[in-house]
Structure 1
Amino acid sequence: MTGTSLLRVTDLTIGVRRSKTDALILVDKANFEIAPGERFGIVGESGSGKSMTLRAIAGLLPKGVSVLSGTVEYNGRDLLAMPATQRRALMGPQIAMIFQEPMTALNPTMRVGEQIAEGARRRQHLTKTQAHQLAVTMMRRTGIPDAERRARAWPHELSGGLRQRVMIAMALADSPKVLLCDEPTTALDVTVQHQILKLLEQLCEQTGTALVFVTHDLAVVNQTCQRLAVMYAGKLVEQGPVSEVFTLPRHPYTKGLLGSAPDFDQPDRVLIPIPGFPPNLAARPAGCPFQPRCAFATEHCATVEPELEAVAPGRLVACFESARLEKEVA
């Protein structure tokens, strides 16, 4: 994908500094690229570093958390090296974000139409009437019925599904090239979740917007994304096309995630949970971070940490026993 990537993350390391020479590492040397119009998923257990990676791209890391090293390039420009004013100018027109819980992301003291129009009016230099018309148009585009009336509604007057559509309308109002989604369907019921995912897919296909979708739900990634990265304990352990990774996982952690997730096509399949617990990031084990929970681990895994390497065209894996796992799965 080199040369055609819209967004490129290189050796991104995020952490909390405990002293000048010591830091608690939350994301460790993350690397991935996303092409224009591509839908890319990042999956993993809670605490694996998915949302931190997304927030670093958007420049929205929590207080006390910072990027320690690495680059985040958009169209060849390093976002991390930009002055704050230049980076803020890109947020909205070029890069937009949909948050996990719209009720906390939306301003309860503003009508939803005003919130959609606010950013677009400032950045596109629209009149108040033009901005309102844009808000109503975006609400219709995201499938909100009776958009003219609902534009005057307060956030608490809308259902969860409609609030999430408002968030999508707000994010797409400036026609961004990259859309960052931080588990935007987690709080929705299955039917509404399906509608929102189909809507995002259709909008990306229509506009050519690239989608970065963070979730712990493998079914969501399977429905929405074309490629995915699997994160564990702050590290990317596998990357590849969704269909290939789901059919033939090359990392034991990916295999464990798939084996513990329900499959409605195989309702009688026995679910196999991953044993143990994720490691304490303040006291990382030596070697591969997954080895204490891994059935394929060897003595070598307990002392040396594997690097993310190509094992097939488009497939990257950080595992010394990937070939042995492939034989067993196949």
Structure 2
Amino acid sequence: MTENLIEIEDLTIGIQRGNRQVRIAEHVDLIIGNGERVGLVGESGAGKSMVLRAIAGLLPRGVEVLSGSIRYDGKDLLALKPAHRLRLMGPEIAMVFQEPMTALNPLMRVGDQIAEGSIRYKGMSRRAARARAIELMSHVGIPDPKRRAEAYPHELSGGLRQRVMIAMAVSLKPRLLLCDEPTTALDVTVQHQVLRLLEELCDEVGAALLFVTHDLAVINQTCSRLAVMYAGHVIETGSTGEVLHDPRHPYTRGLLESAPDFDLPERQLVAIPGFAPNLAERAPGCAFAPRCRDALESCRASDPTLHATADGRMSACFRADELFQKVMV
């Protein structure tokens, strides 16, 4: 067993648009230790979900990894044969999707869907796997699990469907749990319950967690380390506390200043001006420069890479060492 469970190095993901190749994630570096919980945050279109799907081998049709490596427990996933890689999904790597209604099979009872992994990978009998599925449903807080195991996905609420997805994901006790905005469609109360459930299950099975979201409060509650993405690039990394309370990139600062803080209701929110760039028509220089109030002409000329700042933090900003003062959230 290696010290780092996942090591992503210089990962670039692209899609072909006519005669052009559009890079939707570029030069991504990310490390997840055994049992570590890492958040990946950024606005829609930043490339977060594509990184997650590249790890799982579930990139949409037409989207491909152009370069780089994804090492899982020392093995390069991109170099594995499809059949070998597929065998890792479930027993080793599991995924919880944003919208379970599109991820669950509408023609199968949810109990059978949870039991499927135990039958396929553990060789359990259908009866034993079904009993295990009901046990898991109870464990993730689904009331009356024996009756609800007979239900089809459309017969359950969004919160219960998400719990079914989590039960499926942890049924084989994976070492890595990938979560693609699993609480976005849930109300605040159910969201809190699902996050606590994920934390408890990760502790129980010792799984590492990579949690993709645009919600800073969710990351603050769930993850010990954080990576921020913008326009396909990782632009800042660090411990969750450091990044949220003392950012080293103007985009991260903008996210924090535009997010409400219920402990400081009098604080004025400041929106980030403009829009995220069209990745098919990216101009030279820093992708955030057109929206950045601290950008210089040099920022528009060359693209900063993720580098260590004077205090040992990681930022992709030329001015990281001179700009930032503490931002409380």
Q: TM-score range by the shorter chain?
A: over 0.9
Superposed displacement of residue 206, structure 1: 1.7
Within the alignment, does 1:269 sit opposite 2:251 as a pair? no
TM-score, normalization: structure 1?
0.96
Conserved 8 A contact 1:241-1:314:
no
Other-structure match for 2:304 = 306
Structure 1 residue 315: Cα displacement: 2.6
Cross-structure match for 2:12? 13
- Which residue in 2 is equivalent to 1:129? 127
The aligned runs of 1:1-330 (5 Å cut-off) are: 4-18=3-17, 22-311=20-309, 315-327=313-325
Measured against aligned partners, the alpha-carbon deviations of 1:114-136 in whole angstroms (never above 9, x if no partner) come to 00001221111110111101101
Any idea what SS the aligned residue of 1:33 has? strand
Q: Tell me the amino acid that sits aligned with residue 6 of structure 2.
A: L
Partner letter of residue 220 of structure 1?
Answer: V
Q: Distance in 2 between matches of 1:303 and 1:215?
A: 31
Residue 102 to residue 312, structure 1, CA distance change in 2 (3 Å): farther
Q: Which amino acid aligns with 1:170?
A: M
In structure 1, C-alpha distance between the alignment counterparts of 2:312 and 2:192, rounded to whole Å: 28
- In structure 2, how many angstroms separate the alpha carbons of the residues matched to 1:45 and 1:92? 29
Instruction: Measure the CA separation in 2 of the matches of 1:41 and 1:248.
Output: 17
What are structure 1's unaligned runs of at least 5 residues?
A: none
Given that residues 240 and 314 in structure 1 are in contact (C-alpha distance below 8 angstroms), is that contact kept between their aligned partners in structure 2? Answer: no
Is residue 183–residue 214 contact of structure 1 (8 Å, CA) maintained in 2?
yes
Q: How many angstroms does 1:155 deviate by? A: 1.1
- Aligned mates of 1:329, 1:179 — CA distance in 2: 31
The more displaced of 310-319 and 52-61 is 310-319
Deviation at 1:188, TM superposition (A): 0.3
Say whether the 8 Å CA contact 1:241–1:315 is kept in structure 2: no
Whole-Å separation in 1 of the counterparts to 2:263 and 2:153: 38
Aligned-pair CA distance for 1:165: 0.3
What TM-score do you get using the length of structure 2 for normalisation?
0.96
The change in CA–CA distance for 1:89 and 1:252 in structure 2 (over 3 A counts) is: same
The 8 Å contact of residues 39 and 227 in structure 2, kept in 1 or not, is answered as yes
CA separation in 2, counterparts of 1:329 and 1:156? 44
SS for the counterpart of 2:136 is helix
- Structure 1, 309-318 or 73-82: larger mean CA deviation: 309-318
Classify 1:84/1:314 alpha carbon distance in 2 versus 1 (closer, same or farther; 3 Å).
Answer: farther
**How many corresponding residue pairs?**
327
* Distance of 2:180 and 2:110 partners within structure 1: 20
Offset of residue 172 of structure 1: 0.6
Q: Which runs of 5+ in 2 are unaligned?
A: none
